[in-house]
A = this chain, B = another copy of it.
Amino acid sequence: MSAALEVALAYHDAWTSHDFERAMTYVADDIVCEAPAGRLEGAEAYRSFMGPFVQILKGSQLIAAFGDDDKAIVMYDTETVPVASAPGAECVTVKNGKIVYSRFVFDRAPFLQAA
C-alpha cells in the first residue's frame, strides 16, 4: 500500500470509529484544509471543523481509496444524525506520516436544510 494511502486510511479508520483523538495524531500541526466553508489553517481549526462532525456520525462506509507516495483520495458515505446519506471525499497530502494538506469535498445542502 502506498505511504500516503496508509496514513489516509489510518486517519479514516480512527474518526469513523469515533476515535477522534487517534485521528488527530495523523493531522500535522500546520495542516491546511480547503473545506466547503473555506480554508482552515492549523490543527486546532481542523479539530473545530471535524470534531463536531464526528459527534453526529452514526455510521460510515468506504466507497474507494487510492494513493501514491505523497497523496491519497478517500471517498466514503456517512450516516449522520441530521442527514441519512452524506458522502464525502478527501484528497490528502502526507509528509512524514502526517496529513499536511487536505482538500475536502462534501455537499453542505442537506445539512443546511436540516439546520
Contact = CB atoms under 8 A, between A and B. Distances in A.
Residues of A in contact with B, size category = 20 to 34
Contact of A36 (B67, B72, B103, B107): B107
Interface in A53-75: 63-64, 66-68, 71-73, 75
A108 B110 CA distance: 9
Given A36-B109, A73-B75, 9 more contacts: A36-B107, A63-B103, A64-B71, A75-B89, A89-B105, A105-B106, A105-B107, A108-B108, A109-B109
Interface of A: 34, 36, 63-64, 66-68, 71-73, 75, 87-89, 91, 103, 105-109, 112
